[in-house]
Structure 1
Amino acid sequence: MEAYLDPETYGPYLDLALGYTLQLLGALLIFLIGKRVAKALGNVTNKAMSKYGVDETLTKFVSSSVYFVLLVVVIMAALGQLGIETTSFMAILGAAGLAVGLALKDTLANVGAAVIILIFRPFKVGDFVEAGGATGTVESISLFTTTISPVDNRTIIVPNAAITAGNIVNFSNKPHRRVDHVVGIGYNDDLKKAKEVLYGVIRDNPRTLDEPAPLVAVSELGDSSVNFTVRAWVKSEEYWDAYFGIIEEVKLALDANGITIPYPQMDVHLDSTENEEPQA
């Protein structure tokens, strides 16, 4: 006997199964096509930002964010195709996002600070900066922290939010920096000769620049010395070599020309009258 399905008995079930099958196929197509579209848009975002020279860290972050946001939209659309009510899922996701945001507010603040740093670029990797309580060379910038290496070769990891919350001093942003020193001489020394000697030190130093012009000027008549302000411009990468070199050369030049560098002194006078015996 040939087996067959009675349309009157099994027809409604067949229609229901066919309907679910079509819904499942539709949801699967939405997911597969939507996933490819989301990935393609993420790649387009990546290429566009790279073309305009946006920092690689920010580029990866934005392109990944675009992909995952679109993927969530695709998943919601696929679930809707299956006849699943997505309103409750959206509410759950919203509540979960709020909870995660509150729990990770400091971390998200660091991410926001990283976006500011990478977009406005107050400094870049390799710059010598003072930021977030640390001073040194920037080694890396990530979404959460910035790694700074001081001159003693330590590693300081600074949260990005701490950097953007305060002042940022970039010592490498300009091609030239000014070296400032204060040099004191004795009141009995020859003022004009001392000035010529200090100018000679600046002029003969191979790291100092002729333009902008250096400066040697009397800036203060101190308690125990006549103070000169000595200023010279150097290349930014040679700043510390010039800074310490000029100090040494100033001392040697002043000694060679018989000019003293005074130091604070205190004269103590003893009053002997208090210990004298009263005369009869």
Structure 2
Amino acid sequence: MNLNDLLPELAVFAATVLVTFFVVKIFNLVVRGMFRNWVPAVRSHIQKLVSITIWAIGLIFAFQRLGLQLNFLLLILGLIGLGVLIALKDTLENIGAKYFSDVYVPFKVGDIIKVAGSTGKVIEINPITTVLLTKNEEVVSIPNSLFLREKMKNITPHVWREILVPITIDSKIDLPEFESKVMAACNKIKKYLDERFPPVLTVKGRNRRSVNLVLTLMVKDPDKKSEIIDEVNRKISEIEHKMIRRTRQE
């Protein structure tokens, strides 16, 4: 292959490397925004893992454009990737468990729980562990993955009455108006709710694109929880859809 034939391939190689560079930068910004409330060390590891993965894919594609055989390189990269997954197994397991515990495990900061022989008040839930404060003022750190394997008891008074409904809305939605409409929707199902504990809508976090909230309800009959959650989620979806449509029209 002469130089004239090689120049187009070199140009594609350089363009691929440049595109990969910008893609890495974009994904780093996305990761930084998504995990900005996480422990900095964990966020940094995730950014590095994403960057290495994108660079590996980009360079493989770039070198293939030059006609190079990359079977050995692919094998090495595969082994490195396997090694990284094994090294980060516990961390990734705990991070994944944190996601599922947010959705499916009925406890929050402030609750008193019992798990794996430890009992205490939940004072922190981070991506890796859940931290308890015992009656003896001892701090106990429970790996999040344990909650998917061990039986957990929430012994907080009246906890059986509580429903937590996580909500994520577009940041363009007017929050006070949204809260007002959600409270009005809750008022329509007040026959299922305990009048002593009015519904509470709490902001848990926000970024440029979305706002994360939690709606707390106290029910009269725990057997109605599933029915109430379905009804509340349906009403919230309707409210959000209407407000987004109106915002776009404006």
Q: Which has the larger radius of gyration?
A: 1
Q: Select the structure that is richer in helix.
A: 2
TM-score, normalisation: structure 2? 0.47
TM-score, normalisation: structure 1? 0.43
